[in-house]
């Protein structure tokens, strides 16, 4: 057991000064005023630094130079985890872009094995595609985009048993029976890469799709006579991810969306890594990535940069921006009963940072690590 003291604590529910956090094993035991801390408990003086829940990224494609699509291995997942934890992320969904069925099944098996082997960080698998609207495929390989079939869906549902799985689909490409297959399964569905009309999107939300992938990107736009998927998202209770790099989405669009959507909007990195070894070839273009044809693809963001951009470029308060990189993603994945807050009995996963947002340390599963100066 140990305590953190002399720090500013963003719990997600409130901001505390002159309080300590007591950690026992892998969990938060309690928070209380510093003058009530048991003097016999080992304590760490954080010298005025800030503490907040660790970050969670539900859409990242790889790290350390390896894309999951190109190297479907536990090593790629581990490399991704080791890279992102330095920027405050302790949980993530490794993301697979549109591929043939056999590759999807391999990716599912590898992700399952990673978790079963007790490795850290992986909150699940995000299957982004392949059941997309062809005109909205973005940087996804054209030959892999296809219509769903009940046989393929049943195969995927069976394969994903025991693995937390999130799937982005274009709902207008599905028959009612096909969509019901997924809705009855444990797979969490998001609408994206979609040409859906406003009414088609509203219908999809009404039957149970409660999430939207990277708002504005690769979807039917908001227009006066046809509000599209963007308009339907605004006019619903659906939660949506958004990429705050100022390239995929203008910062003003994020600010306007936040005013409309409130707590329903959260951040992802959508980050890729420089890897041209497979079907997906991404090239670093200074502050983002493109494919070999120059099509905008993934970002070069970290979750900590999402936080910085949110506060400094979008103009969202630090407290709310922190929720958008931790609390809200945990809620979207259904992990909010033990992640995304600094609260008694929650997992002790926290970031430690300076006033300028520079990360100084990480607490993961109760283990404190202060980062060395680089």
pLDDT tens-place string over residues 328-343: 999 999 999 999 999 9
Whether residue 93 is found in the same domain as residue 228: yes
Distance CA 319, CA 15 (A): 8
Which residue, chain included where needed, has tokens 């790290």?
A: 63
Whether residue 42 is found in the same domain as residue 60: no
Q: What is the pLDDT of residue 274?
A: 85
The residue with greater pLDDT, 132 or 283, is 132
Please report, for the domain that includes residue 62, its CATH number: 3.20.20.140
Residues tagged active-site: 270
**Separation of first and last alpha carbons in the chain:** 30
Model confidence at 374: pLDDT above 70: no
Domain extent for 275: 55-332
Whether residue 12 is found in the same domain as residue 119: no
Q: What is the pLDDT of residue 156?
A: 98
Model confidence pLDDT, tens digit, residues 95-107 = 999 999 999 999 9
Q: What is the pLDDT of residue 296?
A: 86
Model confidence pLDDT, tens digit, residues 174-230 = 999 999 999 999 999 999 999 999 999 999 999 999 999 999 999 999 999 999 999
Whether residue 144 is found in the same domain as residue 20: no
- State which H helix or E strand residue 346 sits in: none
Whether residue 219 is found in the same domain as residue 363: no
- The pLDDT > 90 percentage for the chain reads 93
Whether residue 219 is found in the same domain as residue 346: no
Q: What is the pLDDT of residue 138?
A: 92
Whether residue 29 is found in the same domain as residue 100: no
Model confidence at 276: pLDDT above 90: no
Whether residue 27 is found in the same domain as residue 93: no
Whether residue 276 is found in the same domain as residue 360: no
Model confidence at 372: pLDDT above 90: no
Model confidence pLDDT, tens digit, residues 247-270 = 999 999 999 999 999 999 999 999
Model confidence pLDDT, tens digit, residues 25-56 = 999 999 999 999 999 999 999 999 999 999 99
- Predicted TM-score (pTM) above 0.75: yes
Per DSSP, the three-state class of 241 is: strand
Structure tokens of 369?
A: 């690590």
Rounded to 10 deg, the angle between the 198-207 and 176-183 helix axes is 40
Find the range with the poorest average confidence among 131-145, 260-274, 278-292: 278-292
Whether residue 39 is found in the same domain as residue 170: no
Whether residue 129 is found in the same domain as residue 276: yes
Contact 273, 304 (CB under 8 A): no
Whether residue 204 is found in the same domain as residue 68: yes
Please report, for the domain that includes residue 15, its CATH number: 2.30.40.10
- Which band of pLDDT confidence, cut at 50, 70 and 90, is reported for residue 111? very high
Say how many domains are in the chain: 2
Question: For the chain, percent helix, then strand, then coil, each to nearest 5?
Answer: 30, 30, 40
């Amino acid at each position: 057991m140990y305590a953190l003291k002399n720090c500013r604590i963003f719990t997600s529910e409130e901001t505390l000064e002159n309080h300590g956090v007591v950690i026992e094993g892998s969990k938060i035991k309690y928070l209380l005023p510093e003058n009530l801390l048991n003097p016999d408990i080992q304590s760490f003086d954080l010298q005025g630094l800030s503490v907040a829940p660790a970050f969670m990224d539900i859409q990242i494609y790889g790290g350390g130079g390896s894309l999951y699509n190109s190297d479907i291995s536990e090593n790629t997942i581990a490399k991704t985890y080791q890279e992102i934890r330095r920027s405050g992320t302790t949980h993530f969904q490794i993301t697979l872009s549109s591929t043939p069925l056999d590759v999807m099944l391999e990716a599912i098996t590898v992700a399952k094995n990673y978790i079963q082997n007790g490795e850290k960080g992986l909150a699940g698998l995000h299957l982004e595609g392949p059941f997309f609207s062809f005109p909205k495929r973005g940087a996804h390989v054209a030959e892999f985009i296809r219509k769903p079939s009940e046989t393929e869906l049943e195969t995927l549902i069976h394969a994903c048993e025991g693995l937390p799985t999130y799937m982005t689909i274009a709902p207008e490409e599905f028959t009612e029976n096909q969509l019901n297959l997924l809705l009855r399964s444990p797979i969490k569905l998001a609408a994206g890469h979609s040409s859906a009309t406003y009414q088609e999107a509203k219908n999809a939300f009404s039957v149970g799709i409660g999430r939207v992938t990277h708002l504005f990107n690769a979807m039917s736009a908001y227009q006066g006579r046809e509000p599209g998927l963007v308009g339907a998202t605004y006019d619903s209770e659906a939660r949506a991810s958004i990429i705050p790099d100022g390239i995929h989405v203008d910062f003003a669009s994020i600010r306007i969306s936040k005013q409309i959507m409130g707590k329903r909007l959260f951040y992802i990195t959508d980050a890729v890594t420089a890897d041209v070894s497979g079907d997906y070839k991404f090239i670093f273009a200074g502050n983002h990535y493109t494919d070999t044809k120059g099509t905008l693809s993934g970002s070069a963001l970290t979750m900590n940069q999402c936080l910085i951009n949110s506060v400094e470029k979008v103009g969202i308060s630090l407290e709310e921006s922190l929720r958008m990189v931790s609390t809200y993603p945990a809620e979207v994945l259904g992990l909010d009963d033990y992640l995304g807050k600094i609260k008694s009995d929650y997992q002790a996963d926290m970031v430690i940072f300076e006033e300028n947002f520079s990360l100084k340390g990480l607490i993961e599963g109760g283990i404190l690590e202060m980062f060395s100066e680089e």
